[in-house]
Amino acid sequence: MYKGFRSESFSAWAFMAPGLLFLAVFTFWPIIYGIPLSLTDYSVITETNVVGLDNFTRAFQDHNFLISLWNSLVYVLIVPVIQIISILMAILVNSRIPGVKMFRAAYYIPVVTSMVAVALIWSWLLGNNGVVNYLLLKAGIISEQVSWLSTNSTALYVLMFITMWKGLGYYMMLYLAGLQGIPADLYEAARVDGAGPLRLIVHVTLPLLRPHILFCTLISVMGAIRVFDEVYILTKGGPGTSTLTSSVYIFQKGLEQFNFGYASALGLIVSVMVGALSVLVFRLNRKGGVNSY
Amino acid sequence: MPRSLRVLITYILLILLALFMMGPFLWLLSVSLMPGRNVFANPPAILPTFIALDNYVQVWNFMNFPRYILNTVIITLLGVVFNIILSCLTAYPLAAFRFKGRSLVFTLLISTMIIPSATAMIVHYLTIQAFQLGNTFFGVVLPAAVSVFNIFLMRQTFLGIPADIRDSGKMDGASELRIFIQLVMPLVKPGIAVIGLLEVMAFWNNFLWPIVVLDDPEKYPLAAALTYLNGQFSYNFGWIAAGTMISVLPIILVFLFTQKYYMEGIAGAIKG
């Protein structure tokens, strides 16, 4: 019996070895190696020196970095509000009416297309003479053309809109899974007690979706912190620093200016913040039902 | 409220939402079919007044699309194969075996989900250079060759397989590897399909990492080539629209033909 247990242990590690090797090199190593790297001024161009905590003191005096943190924070606070629209979408596509599966697929298409394509389309739609301005002018909502992506006050919100638009279908599917797990007799019971459609949503649907809401909030918070593609393609952080998010700034410092040491320090600061944030969300989540993770 | 009225309102809302979600794509299609039209003309061209495929023909001749499509297919296939093999191998013991260190592996895996590393890409770049894999497809694929998410997804699938299967294999004297390949793997085909599809989408759409790793634009996949086209010909909207359609159509078709598995899989990822 004991021998069997040992050989099972051996097989288990043998099975996992290739996968763990890859994870070690490409998932664990970046986390570990970022720490010593952040204490140096490593760049491709000049000789490498150990600079201790200089990168960190520099970071907190770096005006652009602080702005990028602020922009990321705004993203994190606003983008998860996506959940409300996604829940409504999920409720709609959960109706048992003909053709509803077609709508589900249609709403999901932005999720599967590349951010490059999505960003291109929206950059045209949002151009000065673009369709959005045209329609809003016609409807009388705005009185003159707005340069949505090159105006300081609108650019960040426009990017958030694009992030949300692309993600709606994904969250809708997760909520749909949740909705389909709610037993029908709960609705029946509530209806017998005289509840209308709105009260059914508030008192039956939303409480039972709570684990899903928390899970989706967590992944959308993570997504909002990492947001990169749409910013990089559409504004590169501009105009000025109005859409500079932390991942874009770290990328600029690291892979565009080759300040690997400084960029690693910035990355570490953001990682610690994200770690603290996720512990917080996980704490909230513990009462929920996402126990499979 | 009578049922028929409720159904009518539901359809109206569904259609409005569909316009919101699909409208931009339909408009892109419309622009791509109108040669010589400026998307910023006033009033903007929304519906095609005439239909011609000139944009498609011209952009196809201008850009080496077969090359970019081949690049994308190679990168995607490599990525999918790596992910399927590695995540199945890693997930199987976590679901079926009892061994020392199991919870340690589990904790390690979960911790990577909690701590997203913003520096990862920089270290990946250094690692790939150190392995001398810069400017190669392997350099593009390896950092994403296995993901913790896929391991969890496959673990859920393996958990659904009765232990009897492994026991009966053992009775017949089969090795663990043989049991895994011949008895267990055929039973988890739906799970494999799901991670396969997820990775097809991820690798097909990836644009930034390929640009970082590949020095040679001839090796770019479609999404990366598209940013290049946009940089070169930002005034020739019809071409870029046609190029964008060419790059998104395959993935949309893959999705439409496999959406049943795909959506069940996404849902299964959270239901567990």
Whether B257 and chain A come into contact, CB under 8 Å, resolves to: no
- Check residue B40 and report its DSSP letter: T
**% chain A with pLDDT above 90:** 54
Determine phi and psi for A50, rounding to 5 degrees.
-80, 125
Distance in angstroms (rounded) separating the CA atoms of residues A228 and A237: 10
Distance in angstroms (rounded) separating the CA atoms of residues A36 and B208: 26
Burial of A53 (0-12, 13-18, 19+ CB in 10 A): exposed
A interface test, pick of B14, B214, B239 with most A CB neighbours within 10 Å: B14
Distance in angstroms (rounded) separating the CA atoms of residues A50 and B98: 45
Check residues B217 and B269 and name the one with the higher pLDDT: B217
Mean pLDDT, range A152-169, rounded to an integer: 95
Average pLDDT, chain B: 88
A186 Cβ contact partners less than 8 Å away, ≥ 6 residues apart:
A204, A208
Q: Which residue has the tokens 């799901």?
A: B194
Contact A229 B208 (CB under 8 A): yes
A122 in Cβ contact with B24 (< 8 Å) = yes
Provide the β-strand partners of residue A40: A50
Residue B43 preceded by cis peptide, ω within 30: yes
pLDDT tens per residue, range A189-214: 888 888 888 888 888 888 888 888 88
B209 in Cβ contact with B219 (< 8 Å) = no
A22 in Cβ contact with B79 (< 8 Å) = no
Distance in angstroms (rounded) separating the CA atoms of residues B134 and B125: 8
Q: What is the pLDDT of residue A126?
A: 93
Average pLDDT, chain A: 88
Whether B271 and chain A come into contact, CB under 8 Å, resolves to: yes
Q: What is the pLDDT of residue B44?
A: 73
Contact B89 A15 (CB under 8 A): yes
Q: What is the pLDDT of residue A289?
A: 42
Q: Which residue of A has its CA nearest to B43?
A: A134
Which of the residue ranges A43-47, A153-157, A253-257, B63-67 would you say has the lowest mean pLDDT?
A43-47
Q: What is the pLDDT of residue B24?
A: 95
Whether A250 and chain B come into contact, CB under 8 Å, resolves to: yes
Q: B269: pLDDT confidence band, cut at 50, 70 and 90?
A: low
Contact A34 B97 (CB under 8 A): no
CA nearest to B24, candidates B6, B44, B5? B44
Residue B64: count of CB within 10 angstroms of its CB: 14
Mean pLDDT, range B1-18, rounded to an integer: 90
Q: What is the pLDDT of residue A1?
A: 42
Q: What is the pLDDT of residue A290?
A: 41
Which of the residue ranges A59-68, A280-289, B260-269 would you say has the lowest mean pLDDT?
A280-289
Whether B253 and chain A come into contact, CB under 8 Å, resolves to: no
Distance in angstroms (rounded) separating the CA atoms of residues A38 and A43: 11
Check residues B139 and B43 and name the one with the higher pLDDT: B139
Strongest mean pLDDT among A212-216, A252-256, A277-281: A252-256
Q: Which residue of A has its CA nearest to B10?
A: A92
B interface test, pick of A16, A136, A250 with most B CB neighbours within 10 Å: A16
Integer CA distances (angstroms), B266 to A5, A176, B259, in order: 35, 10, 10
Whether B158 and chain A come into contact, CB under 8 Å, resolves to: no
Contact list in B for residue A229 (CB cut-off 8 A) is: 207-208
Contact list in B for residue A212 (CB cut-off 8 A) is: 270
DSSP for A9-67? HHHHHHHHHHHHHHHIIIIIHHHHHHHHHHTB---SSS---B-TTHHHHHHHH-HHHHH
Contact B98 A268 (CB under 8 A): no
Q: What is the pLDDT of residue A204?
A: 87
Distance in angstroms (rounded) separating the CA atoms of residues B27 and A126: 13
pLDDT tens per residue, range A38-55: 999 998 778 888 998 999
Distance in angstroms (rounded) separating the CA atoms of residues A174 and A177: 5
Task: Please state at what angle helix A152-180 crosses helix A82-93, rounded to 10 degrees.
Answer: 40
Contact B146 A23 (CB under 8 A): yes
Q: Indicate if the alpha-carbon torsion angle A123, A124, A126, A128 is positive or negative.
A: positive
B interface test, pick of A65, A120, A216, A217 with most B CB neighbours within 10 Å: A120
Contact list in B for residue A149 (CB cut-off 8 A) is: none
Determine phi and psi for B73, rounding to 5 degrees.
-65, -45
Residue B153: count of CB within 10 angstroms of its CB: 22
Q: What is the pTM of this model?
A: 0.89
CB pairs under 8 A between A and B: 277
Strongest mean pLDDT among A184-198, B79-93, B227-241: B79-93
pLDDT tens per residue, range A5-25: 557 889 999 999 999 999 999
Q: What is the pLDDT of residue B250?
A: 93
DSSP for B183-247? IIGGGGHHHHHHHHHHHHHHHHH--HHHHHH-S-GGG--HHHHHHHHHHH-TT-HHHHHHHHHHH
Contact B117 A271 (CB under 8 A): yes
Token output for B27:
């408009």
What size, in residues, is chain B? 272
A interface test, pick of B88, B117, B146 with most A CB neighbours within 10 Å: B117
Residue spans of alpha helices (H) in chain B: 3-32, 54-62, 65-96, 102-114, 120-130, 137-141, 148-159, 163-171, 176-178, 189-205, 208-213, 222-232, 237-271
Radius of gyration of chain B (CA): 23
What size, in residues, is chain A? 293
pLDDT tens per residue, range B154-201: 998 899 899 899 999 989 988 999 999 999 999 998 889 989 998 999
Task: Please state at what angle helix B3-32 crosses helix A115-125, rounded to 10 degrees.
Answer: 90
Q: What is the pLDDT of residue A246?
A: 92
Whether B107 and chain A come into contact, CB under 8 Å, resolves to: no
Q: What is the pLDDT of residue B116?
A: 56
Q: Indicate if the alpha-carbon torsion angle A80, A232, A162, A238 is positive or negative.
A: positive
Which one of A8, A106, A122 has the shortest CB-CB distance to B98?
A: A8
Strand, coil or helix: what is A255? helix
Contact A109 B22 (CB under 8 A): yes
Whether A16 and chain B come into contact, CB under 8 Å, resolves to: yes
Token output for A9:
């242990």
Check residues A219 and B195 and name the one with the higher pLDDT: B195
Whether A21 and chain B come into contact, CB under 8 Å, resolves to: no
Distance in angstroms (rounded) separating the CA atoms of residues B191 and A126: 40
